[in-house]
Amino acid sequence: MMAEARTKIKFTYEDYKSLPESETKRYELLGGELVMVPSPTEYHQRISGNLEFILRQFIRERALGQLYYAPLDVVLGQGEEREVTQPDIFFISKERSQIIAEKEIQGAPDLVVEIISPGTEARDRGYKKTLYARHGVKEYWIVDPEAETVEVLLLGERGFARAALYGKADSLRSPLLSGLEIKLEEVFQ
């Protein structure tokens, strides 16, 4: 018996935008594949809320730009090569506010924060890390709720390089957001 050949059909940005809106399902468009993003856990949401609160205060007090959180589409690339992510938290400086559109962000944020889970870890540490570097995200934080760590990655000529790895007892400092200091015990509580 002959095996049936399957044609791999890539989804386009237009396909992505034609998905019915959902209150319960989130999708990303990565490499032509529609990827359903699992619902976060309570601890994930608590960490996200704590980080978002601290970052929002810092950014607002200094009028640095805008802070957003999922779900909001970040469209990277042009034409047929467009990909869409929905980072947990992201920052766009006021100098780059032109990428903010009514329904989506049209370009790379300055800072992206992804809070990993067992279902997203490989993608967040692999494909999305490369995608964000390729499109010019300046700083990328990978938050690991299980290990209670935050890896801060800084964009260089050869992609992202680790600037620091912080644990729960540490205070995170951001190379991008000068003066920011986050006591991680306040995040991982």
Does 8 fall in a domain? Answer: no
| Predicted local confidence at residue 119, as pLDDT | 84
| Predicted local confidence at residue 24, as pLDDT | 53
| CATH label of the domain that carries residue 180 | 3.90.1570.10
Spatial contact of 28 and 40, defined as CB atoms under 8 Å apart: no
Q: Identify the CA nearest to 129 among candidates 150, 114, 107.
A: 114
How many structural domains compose the chain?
1
> Domain limits at 167?
41-186
| Predicted local confidence at residue 27, as pLDDT | 73
pLDDT-flagged residues of the chain (< 70): 1-9, 16-25, 28, 38
| Predicted local confidence at residue 20, as pLDDT | 66
What count of other Cβ atoms lies within 10 Å of the Cβ of residue 182? 20
Distance CA 9, CA 19 (A): 16
| Predicted local confidence at residue 22, as pLDDT | 54
Does 135 fall in a domain? Answer: yes
Render pLDDT for 98-115 as a digit per residue (tens, 0 to 9): 999 999 999 999 999 999
H helices within the chain, ranges in order?
Answer: 13-17, 42-61, 121-125, 127-134
What is the Cα 9 distance to its own chain's centre? 26
Does 22 fall in a domain? Answer: no
- For 57, what's the count of Cα atoms within 13 Å in the CB-facing half-sphere? 9
